[in-house]
């Protein structure tokens, strides 16, 4: 059926809805000419007025031409052909006998009324004049012209012209009112959307932004006394109330009001069907869910919050009046809901980025704390290692004098050396420079240089001294590590040697050998070995004792 309708009324070639509607009207009038002509043919055969056949032929030709032109994107010409064809055909219809005058006079209004539907005011006036001339030509040709016929024809034409003129003025007024209301609604929608977008701020949470949004919507759409927003939970089966207006809204938020997707409610059905839902109270089989806090609701409108093909929530509007909502109102609300959904999406992305930044900052702080702990442990380990190393070393420093090219054991720490080691910075005092020796943040010593009185220290000299101290510190650390490696190797050798001695099959001999090996390795004055525990019964147990 739809294919047949589209075949008869082809209007896809027109861009605007108004042009498509006018094209359908032209094509409808053209097709209606066929049954009219069939009736006229029967009338002609009965009355035997041959001139009416010419009128029918003219009407048929102009109607078919208008139909073809309207399908060929020639609407401007086709709109004129329909009323002109009817008006010109009246020349032949009005030439019938006296007994048909009443019928023909009634036909004079048809082309004018049709022109009122298809043409402008200027077109109506032109068609009225053409109709009047055609009627007079027909009446004169019939040789039955009388005052009654002229008055009747003029009355019919003037009445039709006035009716068409008034119809056009009313249509224009209605259209102007509609355009004005549409502009007003668009401005209101744009104002609400702009305020919602401006309300998005880095300092506000999603809940705060949505709360401002619902109050903004309520301020601009005063016919709705309660506005709220539901968002889909991560589980995908429930919607949670996140913003609501008034004291009732605060109560619902404290209750953590929620509705299941697909439940018998306006919100639940909107989420399920992913399209707007309108429900009226006190109607049989309504999907409106009663709410004891909102008993005055007469109509509830729920608009899906869409992001692409996904529905993330619902904008819910409730009014105390049983409003009649048309396509334009629903389109405006859907546009508003889409803007709100976009704001929600931006807020969600912003919150996700903030969360990621916070997590990265936390990880970075943990990494810095771990690094500081590692540095602290390294300093502690290095400090302990150097303390042990210097305890066993036969020396802990050296003094060198250039005059006699001789070195001697280190004397006490000077004030400059002490200050440099404690401050971990270069100290410059009266011709002497002290620089700390640092390995991975741990001070292992200090160096002091006494300069000639005539020598003036330069910044590049300080950099050179700093580099020399760093190189010496690394060299000293490498030597210490090498000595430690050698001691560890010697210790491993002793352990392995002792282990090889303990491979006997006699416990007494093994104990004696173990005691002797420990004595030799540790230079102990006395080594005693016991088996068992102090709590064991007093039994004769093997023991070994080695005396120096």
| Residue count of the chain | 548
Residue whose tokens read 């506005």: 227
Cα-based distances in Å from 304 to 231, 323, 324, 533: 10, 19, 19, 81
Q: Phi first, then psi: give them for residue 230, nearest 5 degrees.
A: -110, 140
Q: What is the pTM for the complete model shown?
A: 0.47
Structural domains present in the chain: 2-179 (no CATH), 209-353 (3.30.450.40), 398-488 (no CATH), 502-546 (no CATH)
Q: What's the confidence (pLDDT) of residue 505?
A: 62
Alpha carbon distance 507, 12 (integer Å): 110
Q: Helical H runs in 72-146?
A: 75-93, 101-107, 109-118, 121-141
Q: Residue 98: what pLDDT?
A: 42
Residue 232, SS3 per DSSP: strand
Asked if 271 and 304 touch (Cβ cutoff 8 Å), the reply is yes
Confidence at residue 146, expressed as pLDDT on a 0 to 100 scale: 62
Radius of gyration, alpha carbons of the chain: 53
- In angstroms, rounded to a whole number, what is the distance separating the alpha carbons of residues 22 and 117? 9
CB 83 within 8 A of CB 129: no
Q: How many CA atoms lie within 13 Å of 279's alpha carbon, on the beta-carbon side?
A: 24
Among candidate residues 65, 158, 66, 60, the one with its CA nearest the CA of residue 112: 158
Measured CA to CA in angstroms, residue 439 lies from 200, 364, 379, 414, 472 at distances of 53, 25, 8, 21, 10
Q: What is the DSSP string of 43-91?
A: HHHHHT-THHHHHHHHHHHHHHHHHHHHHTT-HHHHHHHHHHHHHHHHH
Q: Output the pLDDT for position 297.
A: 92
Q: What is the pLDDT of residue 167?
A: 76
Residue 410 and residue 399 in contact, taking contact as beta carbons nearer than 8 Å = yes
Q: For all residues of the chain together, what is the average pLDDT?
A: 78
Q: What's residue 44's pLDDT?
A: 61
- Residue ranges in the chain modelled with pLDDT below 50: 98-99, 541-544, 546-547
């Amino acid at each position: 059926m739809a294919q047949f309708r589209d075949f008869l009324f082809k209007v896809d070639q027109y861009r605007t809805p108004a042009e498509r509607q006018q094209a359908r009207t032209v094509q409808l009038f053209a097709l209606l000419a066929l049954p009219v002509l069939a009736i006229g043919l029967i009338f002609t055969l009965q009355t035997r007025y041959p001139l009416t056949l010419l009128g029918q032929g003219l009407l048929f030709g102009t109607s078919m031409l208008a139909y073809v032109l309207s399908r060929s994107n020639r609407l401007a010409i086709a709109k004129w052909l329909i009323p002109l064809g009817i008006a010109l055909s009246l020349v032949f219809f009005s030439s019938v006998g006296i007994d048909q005058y009443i019928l023909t006079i009634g036909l004079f209004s048809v082309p004018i009324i049709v022109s009122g539907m298809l043409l402008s005011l200027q077109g109506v006036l032109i068609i009225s004049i053409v109709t009047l001339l055609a009627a007079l030509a027909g009446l004169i040709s019939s040789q039955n012209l009388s005052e009654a016929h002229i008055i009747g024809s003029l009355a019919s034409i003037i009445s039709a012209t006035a009716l068409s003129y008034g119809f056009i003025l009313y249509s224009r007024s209605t259209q102007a009112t509609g355009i004005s209301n549409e502009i007003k609604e668009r401005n209101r929608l744009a104002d609400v959307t702009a305020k919602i977008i401006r309300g998005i701020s880095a300092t506000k949470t999603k809940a705060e932004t949505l709360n401002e949004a619902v109050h903004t919507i309520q301020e601009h759409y005063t016919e709705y006394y309660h506005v709220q927003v539901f968002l889909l939970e991560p589980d995908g089966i429930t919607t949670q109330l996140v913003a609501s207006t008034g004291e009732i809204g605060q109560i619902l938020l404290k209750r953590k009001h929620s509705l299941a997707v697909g439940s018998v409610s306006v919100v639940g059905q909107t989420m399920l069907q992913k399209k707007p839902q309108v429900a009226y109270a006190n109607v049989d089989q309504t999907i409106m869910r009663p709410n004891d806090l909102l008993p005055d609701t007469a109509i509830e409108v729920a608009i899906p919050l869409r992001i692409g093909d996904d529905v993330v929530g619902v904008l819910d509007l409730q009014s105390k009046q049983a409003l009649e909502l048309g396509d334009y109102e629903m389109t405006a609300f859907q546009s508003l809901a889409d803007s709100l959904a976009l704001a929600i999406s931006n807020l969600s992305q912003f919150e996700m980025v903030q969360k990621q930044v916070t997590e990265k900052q936390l990880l970075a702080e943990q990494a810095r704390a771990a690094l500081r702990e590692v540095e602290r442990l390294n300093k502690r380990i290095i400090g302990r290692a150097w303390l042990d190393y210097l305890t066993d070393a036969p020396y802990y420093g050296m003094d060198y004098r250039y005059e006699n090219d001789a070195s001697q054991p280190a004397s006490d720490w000077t004030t400059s050396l002490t200050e440099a080691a404690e401050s971990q910075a270069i100290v410059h005092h009266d011709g002497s420079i002290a620089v700390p020796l640092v390995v991975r943040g741990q001070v292992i010593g200090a160096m002091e240089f006494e300069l000639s009185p005539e020598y003036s220290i330069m910044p590049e000299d300080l950099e050179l001294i700093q580099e020399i101290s760093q190189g010496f510190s690394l060299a000293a650390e490498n030597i210490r590590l090498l000595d430690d490696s050698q001691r560890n190797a010697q210790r491993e050798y002793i352990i392995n040697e002792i282990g090889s001695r303990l491979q006997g099959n006699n416990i007494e001999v093994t104990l004696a050998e173990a005691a002797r090996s420990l004595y030799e390795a540790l230079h102990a004055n006395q080594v005693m070995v016991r088996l068992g525990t102090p709590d064991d019964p007093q039994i004769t147990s093997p023991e070994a004792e080695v005396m120096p």
